[in-house]
Amino acid sequence: MNATSLRHLLREMRANWLSYVFVAPFTIVFLLFIFVPTVAAIVLSFTSFNAIEPPKFVGLRNYINLLTQDTTFWMHAIPNTFKFAIIVGPIGYICSFALAWLITQLPSKSRVWYTLAMYAPSLTAGVAMAVVWIVIFSGDRLGYMNSILLELGIIQQPQLWVQDPKYLMNIMIIVSLWASMGVGFLAMLAGIQSVDKTLYEAGKIDGIKSRFQEIWYITIPSMKPQMLFGAVMAIVGTLRAGSISVELTGSNPTPQYAGHLLINHVDDYGFIRYEMGYASSISVVLLILIYATSRLCWRLFGTEGETKS
């Protein structure tokens, strides 16, 4: 029974060999660079591994420690990450949609340039960090922020924006929002443009009174896949963020853990304390978090689309 079905499967595979060739590049790359590392991380998260000696199996010890012992994780990494994600994720997402919609209202010639202008920050984040944001939030009097606020008399002395725990998180949020018009934004732009024009006409006949109703009843329902994609990208992007605090302050950990995100926590354990096992378990938790939140998005945007297709 089993043997025959296997043979049957093999025969079918041979008959469709061309299709396998076509999916092979992606499959190989996916397995090598995404699947294997993820599995390795999950396996390592059950071990104590110091990067030099062979890993030792410790069962759930890492997870127990993470949940019961790690004060920095609970006091800083988790609250910071959530604060960061809850603000940057939804606002970035809403901004992406709003901007995408606004851009589609433009004549098609200028549309390209606006799109480029919005999309560019997410590509150039690293360079822009050095030339734009560091200069703006520079701690001396010559930084733009300090200079303007001093000028207006709002502050009396230059503020150490990125060193001061009071401001660091807010600045991280602002910078991330600026750079959040990424792939999700492009997808939404494409989604809005692909909505069938006749639907709008039909809607008008059926009594839609305002543009807002148009968006709510026609645009959004017809582009749910893109909305879902954008949401997932926003969630993944914000939870994965971490380099930004290091780039702004130039140190990991940030002063008094003010900008300590989950990824920084992984770095701290992985490359300062050389506890790869523990670092892996943090990243597994992060993976679960990302998965759970993207399920939530699925709920919000995906159900109908999924069941229908």
Partner 1 sequence: MKERRVSKMACLILILVFAFAVVACGGESSDGSPSAEAVVKAVSSPLIHEEAGEVSYGRTRAQWREQGFEIASAGPIAWAADTFVASSIHSDRLSETVREQIEQNGKDGAIGLYDELDWAEYEIEVEQTGLYELLIDFFALKGSFGPIQIGVQIDGHYPYKEAKSIGLNRTWKDGSFPLAKDENGNDIRSVQEEVEGWQSVVVADSGAAYAEPLLWLLQEGTHRLRIQTIYDPVLISRLAFSAPTETLSYAEQAGTPVGDKATKGDWYTLIEAERMWRKSDSSLQMSASMDELASPKSKGKIVFNTIGGDRWKRGGQWAEWQFEVPEDGYYQIHLKYSQGYRTDAAVFRNIMLNGQYPFREMQTYPFDYTHNWKLETLGSGSGEDYLFYMKAGLNTLRMEATYAPLQGILESMQAAVSQIQTLNREVRLVTGVRDPLLGDANRDWNLLLYLPDIVERYEGLIRQLEMQLEGLESLYGRKISSSDGIRSGITDLKKLKANPNLLPKRPEMLASIQETLSGFMTELREQPLDLDLILIAQPEAKLPDVIPNWSERLGNTIKGFFHTFSSEYSYYGREDEEAITVWVNRGRDYVNLLQQMVDEQFTPETGIKVNINLMPNSQQLILSHAAGREPDGALGIDPGTIVDFAMRNAAVDLGRFPDYEEAAGDYSPGMRVQLYYNGGNYGLPETVSPNMMFVRDDLFQALGIEPPQTWSDVYAILPDLQQRGYDFFYSHTNYLPFVFQNGAEFFTADGMRSGLDTPEGFAAFKQWTDLFKVFGFPREVPNFYMHFRNGDMPIGISDFNTYLQLLVAAPEIAGLWSVYPIPGMEKEGTVARWAGGAIQGGMIFKTSERQEETWQFMKWWASEEVQSRYGNEIELLNGTEFRWNTANVQALKRLPWPKEDAVAIFEQMSWFKEMPIVPGFYFTPRELNFAWNRSVLSDENYRESLEASILEINREMRRKLHEFGLVDEQGNRLRSLEIPQVNEKWEGRDEP
Check binding of 246 to partner 1 (CB under 8 A). no
Instruction: Choose one: 9-17, 18-26, 149-157, 210-218; the region binding partner 1 (CB under 8 A).
Output: 149-157
Q: How far is the CB of 56 from partner 1 (least distance, A)?
A: 10
Site for partner 1 in 276-305 (CB under 8 A): none
Interaction of residue 36 with partner 1, rule CB under 8 A: no
User: Among the candidate windows 21-29, 44-52, 113-121, 230-238, which touches partner 1 by CB under 8 A?
Assistant: 44-52
Residue 307 engages partner 1 in binding (rule: CB under 8 A): no
Cβ-based neighbour number of residue 171 at 10 Å: 21
Position among 85, 231, 275, 281 found at the interface with partner 1 (CB under 8 A): 275
Q: How far apart are CA 132 and CA 248, in angstroms?
A: 11
Q: Which of 18, 21, 52, 127 binds partner 1 (CB under 8 A)?
A: 52
- Asked if residues 241 and 263 have their Cβ atoms less than 8 Å apart, the reply is yes
Handedness of CA 240, 77, 282, 55 (dihedral sign): positive
For position 243 contacting partner 1 by CB under 8 A, the verdict is: no
- Is the previous residue joined to 253 through a cis bond, with omega within 30 degrees of 0? yes
For partner 1, give the closer residue by CB, 136 or 150. 150
Q: Which two tokens stand for residue 16?
A: 């469709």
Chosen residue from 24, 142, 148, 292 binding partner 1 by CB under 8 A: 142
Examine residue 57 and tell whether it contacts partner 1 (CB under 8 A). no
Amino acid type, 121? P
CB of 219 to partner 1, least distance (A): 46
At closest approach, how far in Å is the CB of 273 from partner 1? Answer: 7
- Angstrom distance (rounded) from CA 134 to CA 129: 6
34 contacts partner 1 (rule: CB under 8 A)? no
Half-sphere exposure of 135 (CA within 13 A, CB side): 6
Helix (H, G, I), strand (E, B) or coil at 155: coil
Measured from the CB atom, the residue of 220 and 279 that comes closer to partner 1 is: 279
156 binds partner 1 (CB under 8 A): yes
Q: 73-108 b/e with 16+ CB inside 10 Å = b?
A: beebbbebbbebbebbbeebbebbbebbbebbeeee
Among 7, 8, 141, 204, binds partner 1 (CB under 8 A): 141
Strands of the chain, DSSP E = 47-48, 56-57
Residue 207's alpha-carbon distances to 202, 213, 219, in angstroms, are 9, 10, 15
**152 touching partner 1, by CB under 8 A:** no
Instruction: Give the closest residue to 88 by CA, choosing from 177, 162, 157.
Output: 177
Angle CA(305)–CA(285)–CA(279) in degrees, nearest 5? 140
User: Does 157 interact with partner 1 (rule: CB under 8 A)?
Assistant: yes
Q: Does 51 bind partner 1 (CB under 8 A)?
A: yes
Q: Which stretch binds partner 1 (CB under 8 A): 109-117, 156-164, 225-233, 235-243?
A: 156-164
Question: Which stretch in 96-104, 152-160, 227-235, 300-308 sits in contact with partner 1 by CB under 8 A?
Answer: 152-160
Structure tokens at 292: 């759970």
Binding site for partner 1 (CB under 8 A): 48, 50-53, 69, 71, 139-142, 150, 156-158, 160, 164-165, 253, 255-256, 271-275
